[in-house]
Amino acid sequence: MTVLAAARNPIIRWEWLVDEWDQIRSALVEHLTLTVLSMGLGILLSALLAAVAIRYRWALTPITATTGLIYTLPSVAMFALLAPIFGNLARPTAVIPLAGYTLLILVTNTVAGFRSVPRAVRDAAEGMGLSPFRRIVTVELPLALPYIITGIRIASVSTVGLVTVAAIIGQGGLGSLIFSGLRRAFWTPMTVGASLSIIVALAVDALIYLIGALLTPWTRRAAH
Amino acid sequence: MSVTDQPTMSTPAIRLRGLTKVYGSSPEPAVDALDLDVARGEVVALLGPSGCGKTTILRMINRLIEPTAGSIEIEGVDVTDQPVTDLRRSIGYVIQQIGLFPHRTIARNIAEVPRMLKWDSGRIDERVRELTVLVGLEVDMLDRYPDELSGGQQQRVGVARALAADPPVLLMDEPFGAVDPIVRKSLQDELLALQSRVQKTIVIVTHDLDEALRVADRIALFNVGGVIEQLATPDELMRSPASEFVEEFVGSDRGMRRLSLKNISSLDHRMGSVVDLDDEPSRGLEVMDREGIDWLGVVSEDRFAGWITRSAVEDAARNGKPLADLDRSDPIAQVRPDDTLRAAMELIILSNAATAVIDDNGRFGGVVTLEDLRAALGDTESVGAMT
């Protein structure tokens, strides 16, 4: 009986991929859309928070505490809480919590990046007559980039993973494939959804790494 | 506290009046009512122990620190009369940790101020290359990043960057403090060579007496609290310390330090116990008697040809032999005109010779004895020759 079931319900049935290609593709696109929107919002918010924390040193502790608290909230609970407000199929219901989870990592890394700028570099920049704006944008930001890029990589990978959970409120891209497979005990969509989300996570990580490497050529040249 | 009487015909390049800095939390001023004039083209060293306010003074000149009281004029213009970024772009600034921008190539680092001043790119490129050569770097380094250079090379880039827009005034805060002593000495030499060409007004902060003695025209020695203990030329500071503090600071070996301030070439040319190879041996005996030395040096066609012992010369005088036939030994103590008096002294003592021969690119340039060195220290008139 079990042997028979396994034969009829293999881990992956390839013809399903062909038949349901549109569904897979739209799940993938939705997954990437949610990831990009959440990361975009997260980067925007964290930039503001980091700017405040760098400008006013005392602000770092409350900002870290708040974003840390957000990070501890269970994602399913967050989706459930926001669903009645925005509607369970509305994007903000998924994007707001997902963006919230990125803040701790992004703010911490951005602040660490700006703090890593050698004092002498800042002193020289100021002494040479760079305006504060020019100093921050053309000197401190580039030097903080390796930290910021690392933060974005970590946050992106965890966002790609968390997006699947948003399937619980009817969104979640590849997560919806996984959940529908689980509900129907039909392994193929589950396998496809799971594999693709892993591939997306790795690809996003590699892509951001490459962008970072292109933006910070001096970090590689300095090695030799 | 002390007003300088630098004889300048025009406005000093930098004029500090009543300059005072009190930091918020401290009851004692870090700098206390300082008056100081720096003449155009002059190198003034701010010297003193840590906590004497020397860096604070420097950083007030380009307004990285705002004074509590007093005024600062550069070329007769109060530094508060223009936007602070404009002021800083018109002053070269070199710091110990260099502070090159690690994400920029050497060329871009040097070009920063000209770019802010909106020079056209052709002019910037030309200037960058010119400066690279001026500070002794290779042009093929321009495309590298700072971390790919040695500490000494980075410091040269720091100097080139400060000179980029050809500012009349250069502020240097312990510029060579982070490199090893050998590189430091060569960077100091290079700064002097550079200065002889560019003629900037330089204020250099240092806690290193030897550095101040080597590079400065005048030294302002500070005590804790930003008070000038003495403002004097290096030789004057060594010769007559104005207070106990100065005496202690310059140390008990200030006589030796004074020797290192002068070059052999500053001495009067002296033949010493030396005659021409074609002279009669009897003439050699006269010279040895006059000098009180038992060796006779001989010179042939402008070259020093060696030393002959007194007994050999006496022998030759009796037998009518020419000096040229006698055995000669090579000089063991040889100095060059651009060596310091201190180097000559060490050589004379180490080689246990009474006389060092001056070798001026192969030509005989006279001799130096310990007595000459002693006399040079007593001679205060030639002090000006060393700057």
* Digit-coded pLDDT (tens) for B127-150: 999 999 989 899 999 999 999 999
Q: Per-residue confidence at B383, pLDDT binned at 50, 70, 90?
A: very low
Higher pLDDT, A135 or B270: A135
Residues 6+ apart with CB under 8 A from B2: B35, B228, B231
Q: Does B256 touch chain A (CB under 8 A)?
A: no
Assess whether pLDDT exceeds 60 at residue B384. no
Instruction: Kindly report the average pLDDT of chain B as a whole number.
Output: 88
Cβ(B261)–Cβ(B192) under 8 Å?
A: no
Indicate if the pLDDT at residue B387 is higher than 50. no
Averages of pLDDT over runs of 10 residues in chain A (224 residues) are 58 82 90 95 97 94 95 89 85 92 96 95 96 95 96 96 87 86 86 92 96 92 54
Confidence of residue B321 (pLDDT cuts 50, 70, 90): confident
Which residues have a Cβ under 8 Å from the Cβ of B368 and sit 6 or more positions away?
A: B264, B267, B270, B335, B341, B344, B348, B355, B356, B358
pLDDT, tens digit, 9 for 90 and up, residues B274-302: 888 888 888 888 988 888 888 888 888 88
CA quadruple B313, B316, B321, B325: dihedral sign: negative
pLDDT on residue B364:
86
pLDDT number for residue B2: 44
CB contacts < 8 A, A to B, total 77
Using a CB–CB cutoff of 8 Å, tell me whether A120 touches chain B: yes
Per-residue pLDDT tens digits for B162-201: 999 999 999 999 998 878 888 888 889 889 998 998 899 9
- Select the residue from A128, A131, A145, A149 to test the B interface by mutation, using most B Cβ atoms within 10 A: A128
Closest CA to B377 of B325, B326, B342, B339: B342
In B, which residues are within 8 Å of A119 by CB distance? Answer: 97
Q: Measuring CA to CA, how many Å separate B176 from each of A202, B131, B173, B197, B217?
A: 48, 19, 9, 20, 18
Band of pLDDT at residue B258, cut at 50, 70 and 90: confident
Tell if the CB–CB gap between B95 and A216 is shorter than 8 Å.
no
| Band of pLDDT at residue B8, cut at 50, 70 and 90 | very low
What value does the mean pLDDT take over residues B223-234?
91
CA distance B375 to B265: 15
What ipTM score was computed for the predicted complex, to two decimals?
A: 0.83
User: Do the Cβ atoms of B88 and A120 come within 8 Å?
Assistant: no
Are the Cβ atoms of B113 and A222 closer than 8 angstroms?
no
CA–CA distance, B6 with B227 (Å, rounded to integer): 19
B364 part of contact set with chain A, CB < 8 Å? no
pTM, to two decimals: 0.78
Residue B7 clears pLDDT 80, i.e. is over it: no
Residues in chain A closer than 8 A to B157 (CB atoms): none
Residue of A nearest to B87 (CA): A129
From chain B, the residues in CB contact with A128 under 8 A are: 88-89, 93, 112-113, 116, 161
Q: What is the pLDDT of residue B262?
A: 83
- Whether the per-residue pLDDT at B3 is higher than 50: the answer is no
Scanning every residue of chain B, which has its alpha carbon at the shortest distance from the alpha carbon of A141?
Answer: B103
Confidence of residue B381 (pLDDT cuts 50, 70, 90): very low
Flag the least confident range among A143-147, B59-63, B260-264.
B260-264
pLDDT tens figures, B94-123: 998 999 999 999 999 999 999 999 999 999
Whether residues A143 and B86 touch (CB distance < 8 A) is answered with no
Answer whether A215 touches B (CB < 8 Å). no
Q: Does B160 touch chain A (CB under 8 A)?
A: no
Q: pLDDT band for position B331 (50/70/90)? A: confident
Q: Residue B95's closest chain A neighbor by CA? A: A124
Closest A-chain CA to B97: A120
* Mean pLDDT, residues B1-16: 65
pLDDT score of A6: 54
